[in-house]
Structures are given as structure tokens and as C-alpha cells.
Amino acid sequence: MNRVVHPIEVESYRRLRARLDTSHFPPLTRAVVERVIHSAADLDYATDLVMAEADLEKAHAALHAGAPVVVDVEMVGAGITRRETVCRLRDAEAGPGLTRSAHAIRLAYEQVGPGALWVIGNAPTALEELLTLDADPALVIGLPVGFVGAVESKAALRESGLPAVSNVSEKGGSAVAAAALNALLYHPTSAEEKL
């Protein structure tokens, strides 16, 4: 992907790296950590985020091979650049024991099937619902925000053993979830590195 980086972004990363040494992180982990920090201006994400480089490598390959990207809310999708996303929230309905966000995840899974990248930045119930499905995801970026259910849903994601990016605290949100996906999207592939 040929991406022109604006001088403001270049300076922002220079300042970020002047305040926080990220050089010890493996390449994709570093990309995710830095882009999330950049999106939130919150250096604490360096110790709050949880991910495995091997999972990121597989997800990076799947993403660049065209795997679908599913988001829980349109705001997350709006933050993901240069890639179409699937969001079924407008079609979803709440029901007994089922939030609208959870129903949207069911609808999205029916549409895309296994192997997608799931980006959840808003609703803990969306993440909880995804964990009940046999979605076989390429990656789950589970960064819902809030004081009710966010910490618990992210802990459940980590306990599930699914390939994931999550964080330990209540923090999260649409911007940071989109940033985590964009980090993988912007990171060069092996073919691009050779150019």
C-alpha cells in the first residue's frame, strides 16, 4: 500500500518515540502499540495492551490477502481507512436477552463466515456474542470501552485463546480499535518491503 504520511503524523510519532521507547517491541506489536497511543495520546496503552506477535503476523497476512473486516459500530468502520468494512448494526434488533450489538454480530457472522478480522471498539456485548460463535477469526481486536462489561469481555477474549488484541483496563473505544486495525493495514507486506 502506497501511503503518503502527512508531516504532522511524522512529527507526532517523533514526539511519541521521544517520550516512550518502543524499540523493544516486535515489528507488528510496535506498530499496533504506537498507532493506538497516537490515536489516544495515551502512553499507558504501552503496558495496557495485550497481543502476540505470531497472531499479528497471521492476521496481517489474512488482512492483506483480502479477509473481510467486521466492525461493531459504524464509527469504528469510519476510522478504518482504505478498506471496506462490514457493520450490521443498522439491521439488528434487540430482543429478550440479546442486545442490538450482539444481534449485529450474529448477522455479520452469517454474512462473512469464518476467517474475518473482527474489530470491536464500542460494545462489550458485541464481543461477548462473538465469543459464543464458532467464528474462527483471523484476529479479534477487542477494545470495547466502558465501566460495565468492558474489562470482563476483554478478559474472556484473552481466556478464549483466540488470536486477539485487547487491553486490561476499561479504556478502549472506536478510535483505538480502528487504530489497531490500521496499524496492520499500513504495515508493509514482504513484497512491499522489497520495493
* Per-residue CA distances from 131 to 103, 142, 172 (Å): 13, 11, 18
User: Are 163 and 60 spatial neighbours (Cβ–Cβ below 8 Å)?
Assistant: no
Question: Among candidates 97, 89, 95, which has minimal Cα distance to 121?
Answer: 89
Is residue 64 among the annotated active site residues? Answer: no
- Specify the amino acid at residue 40: A
Q: Give the list of residues 6+ apart from residue 63 with CB closer than 8 angstroms, or none.
A: 69, 117, 138, 139, 181, 184, 185
SS3 86: strand
> Which residue of the set 6, 38, 103, 187 is catalytic?
38
Take residue 93 and report the three cell numbers written for it. 434488533
Written as one string, the DSSP assignment of 55-74 is: HHHHHHHHHHTT--EEESSH
Active-site positions read 38
